[in-house]
Amino acid sequence: MPSSSSTETLPQDAAARPLSALPGVGAALSAALERRGLRTLQDLWFTLPLRYEDLTRIEPIAALVSGQRAQVEGVISQVETGFRFRPLLRVVMEDDSGATLVLRFVHFRRAQAAQFAPGLRVRAYGEARAGAHGLEMVHPRYRIVGTTPPALAQNLSAVYAQSEGIGNARLTALMARALAQLPPAHELELLPAGLRERLGLMDLRRALLCVHLPQPGDDQAALAAGMHPAQRRLAFEELLAQHLALRRLRQQARARRAPICSDGAELQRRLLAILPYALTGAQRRVLGEIMADLAAPRPMLRLVQGDVGSGKTIVAALAALTVIGSGCQVALAAPTELLAEQHYRNLTGWLQPLGLPVLWLAGKVQGRARVAALAQLAAGAPICVGTHALMQEGVRFRRLGLAIVDEQHRFGVHQRLSLVEKGAAAGGVPHQLVLTATPIPRTLAMTAYADLDVSLLDELPPGRTPVQTVALASARRAEVIERIRFACAQGRQAYWVCTLVEESEQLDAQAAAAVHTELAAALPELRVGLVHGRMRPVEKQAVMDAFKRAELAVLVATTVIEVGVDVPNASLMVIENAERLGLAQLHQLRGRVGRGSVASSCVLLYRPPLSGTARARLHLLRTSNDGFHIAEMDLRLRGAGELLGTRQAGMLALRVADLARDADLLPAVRELADRLLHEQPACAEAILTRWFGSARRYAQA
């Protein structure tokens, strides 16, 4: 373990020195750095590069490919300037390979345009992309080099995230000054020497110098790929900081009291008696784990993972009955109104016969209805289901005993905690139960949910049949429509899901409306419904209800139906433009069928040509129904940020680490985090401050 002297050395001298002490950092720059959360030298040392630019070589224009960032050099052969419709500057350059490249500018000054003239030699760096007249670079960095070109860079150039008032050149110069004040390795190091030797990690000082100022002898290909030993050293400490932050949240929560809830056995028995099925072994096991948590005086912090159709909601309902039977309230929050409404209807169907009314609170509940709902909550209504509205100001509970959050990654850690705080009273907090139908790989769960205990529903209810999945090119669309006609003639129902590459509800709605018109014309004997995100909730629910009652044979939808829709009679799912979706989302959508005892199918319609990644995704979906195996592959193909969504409150905005690439470090990360929190909290605090800045933003996560 690190010695106490090393942890005491860090906050002194260089590490804690304000950036205003650096030469050239005046009041304006200091304020700009402050807005970015950079106050001390240490904050700056741990502002790591986003990527590197390779200015060590000249790439022949003939060898460029679209999407490649490269440095090129050549002679200007043509200059075109236009101002008629909008400003446009086109500079055509040619190199020794005989190939040409267009440098295109749409924002420029006349003086800038005057710099370019045929015959001059220019060096440019940017991203090559396909243009109207071959490859082009839009707004590249450039310089006129004359007859004697300057020497090439000797090492990779670091590129940092830019912010207002601080460009990359300025930050690079500032970084060099800050790095000149790095203390000796023994003063900077916080990790135990034995651990570093066991894992083959270099010392921190050398790692920081390498990633900020790569030298000619460094493995530049490894740096560009994020696999250099220096990056691996920093990745370990970054993962450790993320883990410590979540474990600190867990410690803080565990230090508070929660209501002891153990009096709902009779309510549970009555609900189980009216269910048309028996619980699976996995459901009984997970319910037992939850019951043990609820009976303790400390807050339950539990994540229940279950593949689509594994029966998470009934487990949550049985847990809620224990809390209600013990005199406390329950809140269930879901990220979308469609999913929240599904929970509301399920819980109403189960709990209403027990004499327990279920309250509804969503953003659309306004006026007198909202006032009445808030009054009932404050008076002690036993259970309320809603969306983000449950987390807003003005929502008060009389005695909240259990906060259930479905699909947490669509909220973020901070929103879950805001709901928990609404139940805080006299030093106590409610129990927390998080549900997810997105299978999270173990490596990711260890980091993303380090503040939670994890329960796994790994058994599907009896009678469920695996979904047969096929991938077809869009040219075979007519065959798919005939397949729908045949399935519906057998008394079954079908989904047709439309997706677009843009994140736009309006465009998605337009695409869905066009497909609805197409299918209605091609299948005149069938009733075809339409649901999308721009419809009012009451309209969406009316369409969904009609589909559930089998009044509609086909439902055209956007991805709003990804979770929370249960129509056992639907046996065919068509997903259009499937190549544009990730594995987790495709698996979720496929889970809308196969919920009954009849064999079900999923058709993945794609537009060729497929990229290698898209081909791998579709192949995996065709060959596997195992959500956890699919999630592991999704982690490898797309990374943790994509798999968890973008609302994880920054907890997984990793700068160096990659959870798929660095998964082997996580066991050692967990072990060291436990030791630091229990034996050396000052060291844990120092690591947190290093990685999250003196502003300690992690505490707001």
Determine the pLDDT at residue 427. 62
Q: Would you state the CATH architecture of domain 57-152?
A: Beta Barrel (2.40)
Quote the CA–CA distance of 250 and 178 in Å, as a whole number: 35
Closest by CA position to 290, among listed 316, 256, 254: 316
Residue 287 has pLDDT above 60, yes or no: yes
Quote the CA–CA distance of 447 and 416 in Å, as a whole number: 17
Q: Would you state the CATH architecture of domain 265-457?
A: 3-Layer(aba) Sandwich (3.40)
Determine the pLDDT at residue 635. 65
* pLDDT-above-90 percentage for the chain: 36
Residue 125 has pLDDT above 90, yes or no: yes
pLDDT digits (tens, 9 = 90+) for 441-497: 666 666 667 778 889 888 877 767 778 999 999 899 999 999 999 999 999 999 999
- Homologous superfamily (CATH) for 467-624: P-loop containing nucleotide triphosphate hydrolases (3.40.50.300)
Collapsing DSSP to helix, strand or coil, 531 comes out as strand
Higher local confidence (pLDDT), 151 or 582: 151
Determine the pLDDT at residue 235. 92
Quote the CA–CA distance of 14 and 184 in Å, as a whole number: 11
Task: Write down the domain spans for the chain.
Answer: 4-51+160-251+664-700, 57-152, 265-457, 467-624
pLDDT digits (tens, 9 = 90+) for 559-570: 766 545 678 889
Average pLDDT over residues 519-545: 88
Q: 60-82: buried (b, 16+ CB within 10 Å) or exposed (e) per residue?
A: ebeebeeeebbbbbbebeebeee
pLDDT digits (tens, 9 = 90+) for 313-354: 999 999 999 999 999 999 999 887 778 888 898 899 999 999
Determine the pLDDT at residue 100. 94
Quote the CA–CA distance of 357 and 351 in Å, as a whole number: 7
Residue 632 has pLDDT above 80, yes or no: no
Determine the pLDDT at residue 646. 35
Between the alpha carbon of residue 626 and those of residues 297, 578, 639, the distances in Å are 37, 18, 19
Quote the CA–CA distance of 124 and 108 in Å, as a whole number: 16
**Residue 330: φ, ψ to 5°:** -130, 135
Quote the CA–CA distance of 339 and 321 in Å, as a whole number: 21
State pTM to two decimals.
0.67
What is the CA angle 141-172-75, rounded to 5? 20
Q: What is the DSSP string of 243-282?
A: HHHHHHHHHHHHTSB-------HHHHHHHHHH-SSPPPHH
Average pLDDT over residues 263-289: 93
Backbone CA torsion sign across 13, 14, 19, 20: positive
Q: In whole angstroms, how large is the CA radius of gyration of the chain?
A: 29
Determine the pLDDT at residue 409. 55
* Topology agreement, domain 265-457 and domain 467-624: yes
Determine the pLDDT at residue 122. 95
Q: Which segment, 51-55, 251-255, 288-292, is predicted with the most confidence on average?
A: 288-292
Average of per-residue pLDDT values in the chain:
84
